[in-house]
Amino acid sequence: MSNVIETRNLRYRAGRNFEIRELSLNVPAGSIYGFLGPNGSGKTTTIALLMGQLRASQGSITVLGQSMPQAAPRILARTGFVPERPHLYPTLTVEEVLRYHASFYQSWDWRRADELFGRFELDRSLKLSALSKGETGKLMMLLALAQNPDLLVLDEPTDGLDPVVRRAMIIAVLDYVSQRDAAVFISSHLVHELERICDWVGVMDNGKLVAEMPMQTFKSGIKRLRVTGAPALVEDPPFVLLSRDTGETLGAGEVWVVRGWQTPMQQYFEGIGASLREVVDLDLEEGFVELLRTFRAPRAQA
């Protein structure tokens, strides 16, 4: 099995103005897959579909080699899921929640739970209603990891948490996957957080998957070029010209943002009588912003 999550042509209408459409995701086994997208792009809806909480009107979903929602119990038994909004009973204590949760999972690992307790510095006797946002986040992560999952699905797990807690949670996930061969599907709009840990990225915008590729490919191909003397109309560049802005200062040239850049393409500029002054690498966040900008731009530009 090469993909732990696979969807084909998913469609789901969430409201009059929003739908997931033609969604085909491929999450490779063993990967840490970053699911990026602005707020409201459909990340959480997609995850709810993957976890069997919503029913797609069209298309198919395979998770860990089995069909969702038909095989939901079997899939969920092997999946650690941290939802965007925790659904825990506020009147139970931390210890009670743990025992309750543990009873559902055959693969539950008390040793890992104890180890994470120490690491996260959680108090077992506290009622859930007394936990801070950060402590609730850590408890959700603990529950997901202690069930010894083959797949972790994390929906904005660190959103709104302070940097210390975020770091502790990310390290716990990394520690888990370095001990055990598991895949991680993590959604976030905090691009920088995913930049160092993910080896695959999928980008959502307005209900559609606009890009899916290895992180390195995503990061290496998008560049900002400074070009002088280029004609107003350029034909058949060897790269994808995402945007072209005339600079503010005279003589500084234009700024081009391109995708699919490779060093030998420098020669192209001589061919059109222009000169390439500078090639600047874009990081994941800048690449992400540029990608969305061009995806949303009217077709006339292309």
Among 20, 49, 88, 198, binds another protein (CB under 8 A): 198
Among 47, 142, 161, 170, binds another protein (CB under 8 A): 170
Cα separation, 65 vs 71, in Å, equals 10
Strand pairing class (200-205; 32-36):
parallel
5 CB neighbour count, 10 Å cutoff? 24
Q: How big is the CA angle at 181 (ends 175 and 183), to the nearest 5 degrees? A: 85
CB of 100 to another protein, least distance (A): 30
Pick the closer one to another protein by CB: 71 or 174: 174
247 is an interface residue for another protein by CB under 8 A: no
CB of 171 to another protein, least distance (A): 5
Report the residue count for the chain.
Answer: 302
Burial of 68 (0-12, 13-18, 19+ CB in 10 A): buried
Pick the closer one to another protein by CB: 177 or 265: 177
Cα separation, 283 vs 260, in Å, equals 15
197 is an interface residue for another protein by CB under 8 A: yes
178 is an interface residue for another protein by CB under 8 A: yes
Q: Which span (1-9, 87-95, 100-108, 169-177) binds another protein, by CB under 8 A?
A: 169-177
Which ranges of the chain does DSSP label H, i.e. alpha helix? 43-50, 72-77, 94-102, 110-120, 133-146, 163-179, 191-195, 215-221, 266-271, 284-296
Pick the closer one to another protein by CB: 99 or 192: 192
Please answer whether residues 252 and 226 qualify as being in contact, where contact means their C-beta atoms are separated by less than 8 angstroms: yes
CB of 199 to another protein, least distance (A): 6
Among 89, 245, 283, 293, binds another protein (CB under 8 A): 283
Pick the closer one to another protein by CB: 143 or 170: 170
Would you tell me which residues interact with another protein (CB under 8 A)? 30, 32, 167, 170-171, 174-175, 177-179, 192, 195-199, 216, 219-220, 278, 281, 283-284
